[in-house]
Structure 1
């Protein structure tokens, strides 16, 4: 009988110990599961980039999932709002024009605020990048350019977004960000697989980027290995390294180049009241103020300059003469390295495919009515365009504003000279140029590339979702903690009884 009692006592002790171990194991398991099995939920992130160019400002809104791929956001464009009024390089001159420009900013920013969820306003970064127009103003009047940027910082800082900075970006940066935009949109930097993961495309080749703005023009393309120099840049995207050649030519944007050509034409004429312009069509004439040509750092003011002087220009079309005048604003002879673009600037030989956008697209479309052509076709089309009478030209190109149409003979010669003589595209490599405005319904420009680069440095908001709700987790912890305490007490009681 005593033996049976002793055996039963041992069984009870063993059962209590087993229960104690089970409760401790359950307690640990619940804690580990709650910590190790928690999920991370990323929301959508937003960013705003204001592209303040020499002609106007555009406000772009971008979004990307917080779950970045190799630390870079998969960015899409949500909105492109064109700001009414003058470019920022022309503010602080006429209060009425300044008020119109500020109203344009307010109108766009109102639309932006309505588009981005209010709970995201505080964490949405806002950048303003000024390009060639402000670069020229900075050279001409540094104090004024600083005042313009400071007034914009004050306004943008008052908005409910996470304002970062308003600054003038360099020409090299503008070219690099344009290159990033082009290759991102074309899928050359990553692609999705069946598991919705983004991978680096096997054997993918990047394409070159050529941007023609109002005050500057940029070229950028990847090179096989790193080289030293101010125009060679390194960038890391989606976990991969790229070496890019990029250069920006200030004063060689379409508008500033036209002023330089007009200066050549005006200076060669002895009669300002009747100036023959070989780059204007037959039947067209216009009166320009001297200031429209010389109120810039890109042209040299003549002696006895009068900004209000009227200059009467008459179209006397001669495509060959026009082309010669265009070539005269370039220096193709100076070169201190093995390969140069123009004006003595080092440039490796162009390689691979190129996208030519912005001004390139509009000029090619006006002359060719399509974006693809070969070297000789482009050259022949210029001659035909330049010798088309003004009235007929307006009928043929009724979708182009007369303000721009009158400039396209010069502009076409300019594009051809820039590409063929400047960047050294020949009959073979010309076939690799695609004149385009968009890729996948998205406008090409530097701002998207800028946002992609900035998304590398922007933190994402993460919502941690545990496998168990807080009440359930707390209840299980309480239950197994209580069970552990009870079994410990029971063990203690049994041990006491065993002693006495």
Structure 2
């Protein structure tokens, strides 16, 4: 007895469903390939405890790294409210409390699962170097409080340390080349007449953060201050003379390619970036737009010649660093022109920058790049995946399978018996 019409239709639909289903299974199993999913991110936190303020940077890099070094990018930056931690010498507890706000902001960016393995480091620079020389016990108290506060956070705290000037410079060099794709003593003293400062400057005031300027730490030679009436921000001629003595340019007389102190230096060539206090000083003086050397020189000397009362009136609310800009400006000019040999021709190759490639320029990124070498890489997850065309074909056959099954069910339920 032959099959009825209903039975033939139902058999055809079920056969089509089975064939479509098997085709889908073959596509998804046989044609699948191994793929590596994008690596998860790792994080690091670095506190830059400078003389004027503390900045907190969060960095991230793919967990699988590249050539054993993380491809690090800046995830966030936060400036701590208040002065640098060295300013809390009389109350170290406040130094630790001041860091809490930016620490919480940094932690908010890091997934909880990643926090225990996230390294965190605080490096203190100029301000704490000076405090360590002036009063080492006060500096130790500040480091102890800061370490206790940061050590209580849910990350891998690597310590709070005094960063050597050579390390700060080397790590800054790493940072700028990476982002560009290249790889004192102080005491209570009477009012002194110093050639780099106005006549009301006291020797006990905090110095400028730019290294150890002679206009801050080194008393002017007697022949420069004897019978000298200081006006305005200071005596720029005498200040430059003091700077030249510090750099010891006399040891380079008659010697080609000499920087200072008799140190060899090849002629200046290529691109150069000046950052940190070099940038902040020139930014205050509106000299970061690549002005010609003549304009830079004229601006600095004009500022240094202004009467101090006029300077204070022209820049209200900037008393803390205002006294240092003349000294820092002259220091920078003397160092770059007479020390490193920049000239009218090479000055355009020098840029004063705070950021490059969207990243703050300083030692912190260089530190994190170096630290990633000691953090194990994670292998990316291995998954099975289909090519786009195979995936589309698979979806089509899945739909056909469902349609034929639904059709078979409809025939079974609603087709009358023959």
Into which bin does the TM-score normalised by the smaller protein fall? 0.5 to 0.7
Q: Gaps (5+ residues) in structure 2? A: 1-28, 221-228, 386-418
Distance of 2:70 and 2:252 partners within structure 1: 41
What is the 5 A alignment of 1:129-208?
Answer: 129-139=123-133, 145-146=139-140, 148-189=142-183
> Which residue is 1:124 aligned to?
118
TM superposition shift of 1:41:
4.4
TM superposition shift of 1:183:
1.9
2:95–2:145 CA contact under 8 A, matched in 1: no
TM superposition shift of 1:442:
2.6
Distance of 2:294 and 2:260 partners within structure 1: 22
> Which residue is 1:440 aligned to?
357
1:371–1:436 CA contact under 8 A, matched in 2: no
Task: Give the 3-state SS of the residue equivalent to 2:250 in structure 1.
Answer: coil
1:84–1:101 CA contact under 8 A, matched in 2: no
> Which residue is 1:54 aligned to?
51
Of 381, 384, 390, 1:467 maps to: 384
> Which residue is 2:34 aligned to?
37
User: Relative to 1, partners in 2 of residues 1:338 and 1:64: Cα closer, same or farther, differing over 3 Å?
Assistant: same
1:276–1:315 CA contact under 8 A, matched in 2: no
User: Relative to 1, partners in 2 of residues 1:81 and 1:334: Cα closer, same or farther, differing over 3 Å?
Assistant: same
Distance of 2:194 and 2:135 partners within structure 1: 32
Distance of 2:315 and 2:137 partners within structure 1: 43
User: Relative to 1, partners in 2 of residues 1:385 and 1:140: Cα closer, same or farther, differing over 3 Å?
Assistant: closer
User: Relative to 1, partners in 2 of residues 1:287 and 1:89: Cα closer, same or farther, differing over 3 Å?
Assistant: closer
Distance of 1:407 and 1:326 partners within structure 2: 14
TM superposition shift of 1:49:
0.8
1:45–1:460 CA contact under 8 A, matched in 2: no
Give deviations 1:154-199, integer Å, cap 9, x for gaps. 332221001223333332221121112112222334xxxxxxxxxx
User: Relative to 1, partners in 2 of residues 1:406 and 1:157: Cα closer, same or farther, differing over 3 Å?
Assistant: closer
* TM-score computed with the length of structure 1 as normaliser: 0.58
TM superposition shift of 1:335:
6.1
Q: Gaps (5+ residues) in structure 1? A: 1-29, 190-250, 267-271, 303-311, 469-500
1:361 counterpart = 2:279? yes
> Which residue is 2:73 aligned to?
76
Which has the higher mean CA deviation after the structures are superposed, 164-173 or 397-406?
397-406
Of 431, 440, 465, 2:348 maps to: 431
> Which residue is 2:20 aligned to?
none
Which has the higher mean CA deviation after the structures are superposed, 318-327 or 99-108?
318-327
Larger RCO (alpha carbons 8 Å, 6+ apart): 2
TM superposition shift of 1:317:
5.8
* TM-score computed with the length of structure 2 as normaliser: 0.68
TM superposition shift of 1:346:
5.0
> Which residue is 2:389 aligned to?
none
Task: Give the 3-state SS of the residue equivalent to 1:291 in structure 2.
Answer: coil
TM superposition shift of 1:398:
4.9
User: Relative to 1, partners in 2 of residues 1:144 and 1:293: Cα closer, same or farther, differing over 3 Å?
Assistant: closer
Distance of 1:339 and 1:161 partners within structure 2: 49
Which has the higher mean CA deviation after the structures are superposed, 433-442 or 149-158?
149-158
Distance of 2:82 and 2:39 partners within structure 1: 39
Give deviations 1:371-419, integer Å, cap 9, x for gaps. 3133333222223223345566567x65882443443233221111111
Distance of 1:154 and 1:365 partners within structure 2: 36
User: Relative to 1, partners in 2 of residues 1:427 and 1:463: Cα closer, same or farther, differing over 3 Å?
Assistant: closer
Larger strand proportion of the pair: 1
1:453 counterpart = 2:366? no
> Which residue is 2:60 aligned to?
63
Distance of 2:299 and 2:155 partners within structure 1: 49
1:383 counterpart = 2:380? no
Distance of 1:37 and 1:293 partners within structure 2: 62
TM superposition shift of 1:138:
4.5
Task: Give the 3-state SS of the residue equivalent to 1:320 in structure 2.
Answer: helix
Give deviations 1:47-105, integer Å, cap 9, x for gaps. 101112233322111112223233322222122222234534454x413xx23222211
Distance of 1:376 and 1:301 partners within structure 2: 30
Give deviations 1:466-500, integer Å, cap 9, x for gaps. 439xxxxxxxxxxxxxxxxxxxxxxxxxxxxxxxx
Task: Give the 3-state SS of the residue equivalent to 1:428 in structure 2.
Answer: coil
